[in-house]
């Protein structure tokens, strides 16, 4: 009797253990299933590269196919063994659905262009043509990236600094506001690109003209938002600081500016967006360097793959710049967490 009950207890225990094991296996399958799907998608892409003959003359088709298989292998083993990869494992698992989508997209793209030309060919280059640009035209592309970053950074830093200082002085001093405000109203809303023709013959070099235009495009939103930020600081903060013995410099540096910073960052964000537009136009029209110029040049030679390649680099740079700005803001405005969100 007693042995019976013991064995009964063991079997209950055993079935519970096996059910939880089944659960664990289910979880593992679920999380690895997407990894397997990603691998399949990338294998499909690799096969689509290698199975059929190219309709055109591209030199990187074979390497691209191999690269696709490598990505497939990484996706497969990475997600299956994610638990042993530290922080990289979960990160890879989170991105696995995107890997699936990307693999499928590349497969369709490959088939639609290089293999069956469903899309008209010179205008829609296949992935291997773009890869070819990155491998064979790298020096020129890097030069362009360097030139663009230099121009953008110079103009943006000047524009942001001048805009910030102007904004603080308008917000702080009524007499400065009296003189600057109407000028700002009159000139600010003008798109910076409208100055292009004038800027290019009044400035000594196209580089200085473009820097000025980028600074202008950045400066306006930064000025307006810094100003509104400083102007909207509650008088109660100043009262508190004054009763504690604060001098005017303390009120500006330690009260007005920190209180206005969330606004300033909105201005910096808007300025970044409009300065990108000016950068590209300025490079296309006047400056003989940079990604905008590269795009223009590629169009002149009907080098469509180069255009797409440059466009991809450009979008990476722009989104990288914005990410950087947001990271800086999050670092600087930790106190805002839970107060303001945008």
CB nearer another protein, residue 260 or residue 295: 260
- Considering only residues 89-118, where is the footprint of another protein by CB under 8 A? none
CB nearer another protein, residue 63 or residue 228: 228
- Considering only residues 118-137, where is the footprint of another protein by CB under 8 A? none
Binding mask 197-236 for another protein (x = CB under 8 A): -------------------------------------x-x
For position 240 contacting another protein by CB under 8 A, the verdict is yes
Of 241, 252, 270, 317, which one interacts with another protein (CB under 8 A)? 241
For position 243 contacting another protein by CB under 8 A, the verdict is yes
For position 87 contacting another protein by CB under 8 A, the verdict is no
For position 331 contacting another protein by CB under 8 A, the verdict is no
Of 140, 188, 242, 277, which one interacts with another protein (CB under 8 A)? 242
For position 250 contacting another protein by CB under 8 A, the verdict is yes
For position 299 contacting another protein by CB under 8 A, the verdict is no
In SS3 terms, the chain reads as CHHHHHHHHHHHHHHHHHHHHHHHHHHHHHHHHHHHHHHHHHHHHHHHHHHCCCCCCCCCHHHHHHHHHHHHHHHHHHHHCHHHCCCHHHHHHHHHHHHHHHHHHHHHHHHHHHHCCCCCCCCCCCHHHHHHHHHHCHHHHHHHHHHHHHHHHHHHHHHHHHHHHHHHHHHHCHHHHHHHHHHHHHHCCCCHHHHHHHHHHHCCCHHHHHHHHHHHHHHHHHHHHHHHHHHCCCHHHHHHHHHCCCCHHHHHHHHHHHHHHHHHHHHHHHHHHHHHHHHHHHHHHCCCCCHHHHHHHHHHCCCHHHHHHHHHHHHHHHHHHHHHHHHHHHHHCHHHCCCCCC
CB nearer another protein, residue 104 or residue 241: 241
Determine the interface stretch with another protein among 90-98, 176-184, 243-251, 273-281 (rule: CB under 8 A). Answer: 243-251
For position 254 contacting another protein by CB under 8 A, the verdict is yes
The minimum distance between CB 264 and another protein, in angstroms, equals: 12
The minimum distance between CB 234 and another protein, in angstroms, equals: 8
* The residue count for the chain: 342
Size of the site for another protein (CB under 8 A): 25
Query: Which residues lie near another protein (CB under 8 A)?
Result: 234, 236-237, 239-247, 250, 254-255, 258-259, 261, 333-339
């Amino acid at each position: 009797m007693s042995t019976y009950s013991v064995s009964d207890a063991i079997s209950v225990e055993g079935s519970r253990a096996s059910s939880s094991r089944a659960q664990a296996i289910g979880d593992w399958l679920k999380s690895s299933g997407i990894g397997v799907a990603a691998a399949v998608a990338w294998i499909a892409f690799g096969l689509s590269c290698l199975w059929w003959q190219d309709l055109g003359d591209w030199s990187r088709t074979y390497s691209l196919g191999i690269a696709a298989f490598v990505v497939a292998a990484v996706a497969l083993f990475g997600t299956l063994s994610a638990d042993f990869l530290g922080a990289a494992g979960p990160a890879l698992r989170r991105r696995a659905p995107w890997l699936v989508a990307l693999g499928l997209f590349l497969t369709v793209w490959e088939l639609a262009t290089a293999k069956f030309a469903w899309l008209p060919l010179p205008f829609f280059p296949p992935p291997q043509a773009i890869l070819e640009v990155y491998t064979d035209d790298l020096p020129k592309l890097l030069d362009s990236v360097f030139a663009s970053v230099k121009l953008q950074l110079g103009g943006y830093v000047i524009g942001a600094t001048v805009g910030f200082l102007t904004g603080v002085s308008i917000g702080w001093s009524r007499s400065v506001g009296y003189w600057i405000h109407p000028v700002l109203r009159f000139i600010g809303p003008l798109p910076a690109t409208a100055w292009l023709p004038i800027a290019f013959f009044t400035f000594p070099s196209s580089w200085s003209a473009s820097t000025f235009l980028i600074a202008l495009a950045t400066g306006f939103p930064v000025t307006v938002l810094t100003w509104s930020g400083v102007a909207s600081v509650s008088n109660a903060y100043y009262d508190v600081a004054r009763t504690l013995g604060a001098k005017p410099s303390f009120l500006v540096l330690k009260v007005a500016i920190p209180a206005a910073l969330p606004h300033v960052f909105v201005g910096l964000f808007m300025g970044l967006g409009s300065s990108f537009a000016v950068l590209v136009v300025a490079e296309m029209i006047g400056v003989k360097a940079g990604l905008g110029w590269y795009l223009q040049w590629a169009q002149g030679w009907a080098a469509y793959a180069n255009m797409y390649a440059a466009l991809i680099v450009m979008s990476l740079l722009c989104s990288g710049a914005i990410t950087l700005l947001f990271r800086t803001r999050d670092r600087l405005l930790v106190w805002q967490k839970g107060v303001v969100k945008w």
